Amino acid sequence: MSGKQEKFPSITASDSLPADGRIKGSEKGTLIGAWVGTVFFGFLILLLGWHMNMPLLIGKMPNPVLAIMALVFLFLLVKSIRETIRLKRFGDPALELNRVPVPMGEILEGRITLGTAFMTGPDFHAKLQCVHRWHENAGKNSHDREVVLWSGETKTALMPGGVVPVSIALPDNRPATNDTNPFDRIFWRLTVTAPFTGIGFAEKYEIPVEAGAKANLPDPIKDDAPFGGPTHDLTPNQATGNMIFMGIFTLAALAAGLYFLSFAVTDITRANASLTWPVTSGHIVESTIGWKKNAPYPQIIYAYNVNGVMHSGETVYPHWFWTRKASQRLLDQFPVGAVVSVHYSPTVPDDPLLQPGLQPGVFQGLLVSTLLLSFALLLGITSLSGKYAVSTGSTVYYKKDSPAGKWNGRVLLLMILQGVLLWWVTVS
């Protein structure tokens, strides 16, 4: 690596440090996140597969929308159950340190208490790592990088009373904890595992480490700073202005999402009800590619008779937009002169469909509206994170422990999934 040398400062305030030396592990948060995802996908599968009668098969193939969601649901369910069993078996034990923060060059000493239910057990393996994690901006290839600057390991036996002692000597030539820049952090991570029969013990703790009297810190060599300079907290006025600015866009996205959702619910309700509509015979009058706002669509016009009165319709099934390929498939299916079965509303005969039920394209509106609502959620979380913001002078970022830092990545993954599903129902 090349670049100018730069010291990593140690933590400067103890406000965020545990006053009693107790540090909570991170696995309980993983469990909560897994169950939230499990419940969400389970609800979505029930909503689409049961309440809205989405077909399980398309032809002879499984419905890919339900199949993908089912696989994600099963993965999250297995992970949630395993983590729940682990939590029930071992609890949520904290790491009790003799000294917090731990000085560089000294010995990390503490214990984990599992309780009297664990009087005997396998050896525990403890690994302490000094980690440098930063975000690297490279256009479309922006990503997080993580480098282990130092690693130390030890084995320890379970003591009477279910106590696991931990003792690892820290080096005197590595950087201390540095959370000044949430996108360029130095932190110390302690991972403790034990291979119990069945589901073993596993927990991670983040250890505050400060420069001590015995520290002999070199200047670590570091690549170019990812944000092109140091960050600073926003002033109260800047933070408030940032929250208001993001809040305005949040409300706009929320309003648009709810507006489109009303149309989406109408389409889904109409398509689902069409399964019980009366059916009459009709024929295709026109079948060609039409254009609306430079976008293709299948212009299929058909005529049908209801109680001696002739009607005409253009709707194959509720759909928001088409691809040229999907349009051509329908034109091939409904050529001019073809005799077709027309499903029409018993109360409004001028409201017909050629393909009743919940076709994949019916869900375009739902996916568009939920994508907008997810975007509103992303903006709302960002807005509420205003007091956690830092600035490089030209760009505003949000600290890792802020709502934006904790949840924005997950919401973005949800939006990607919604986008993939929207693409699939559009090309189907």
pLDDT at 232: 47
Please give the model's pTM, rounded to 2 decimal places. 0.47
Q: Residue 15: pLDDT above 50?
A: no
What are the pLDDT digits (tens) for 178-206?
887 777 888 999 999 999 888 888 899 99
pLDDT at 168: 92
What are the pLDDT digits (tens) for 36-84?
888 888 887 777 666 555 566 666 667 677 778 788 888 888 888 888 8
Share of the chain above pLDDT 90, in %: 14
**Options 3.40.210, 1.10.10, 2.40.50, 2.60.40; CATH of 278-355:** 2.40.50
Instruction: Tell me the range of 64-73, 183-192, 215-224, 380-389 where mean pLDDT is highest.
Output: 183-192
Mean pLDDT in residue range 286-290:
88
Its CATH class, for the domain covering 1-7+94-230, is: mainly beta
Q: Residue 23: pLDDT above 50?
A: yes
Q: Residue 14: pLDDT above 60?
A: no
Quote the Cα angle for 418-314-261, to 5°: 30
41 Rama sector, left if φ>0, alpha if ψ -120 to 50, beta otherwise: alpha
Q: Residue 285: pLDDT above 80?
A: yes
Domain ranges of the chain: 1-7+94-230, 26-91, 236-261+365-427, 278-355
Amino acid in position 387:
K
pLDDT at 386: 57
Q: Residue 2: pLDDT above 60?
A: no
Residue 228 confidence class, pLDDT cut points 50, 70, 90: very low
Higher-pLDDT residue of 8 and 408 is 408
Residue 229 confidence class, pLDDT cut points 50, 70, 90: very low
Give the strands of the sheet with 396-398, arranged side by side.
232-233, 389-391, 396-398
From 132, 136, 164, select the one nearest 151 (Cα to Cα).
Answer: 132
Higher-pLDDT residue of 28 and 225 is 28
Mean pLDDT in residue range 316-342:
86
Q: Residue 325: pLDDT above 70?
A: yes
Beta carbons of 186 and 6 less than 8 angstroms apart: no
* Mean pLDDT lowest among 146-155, 214-223, 315-324, 395-404: 214-223
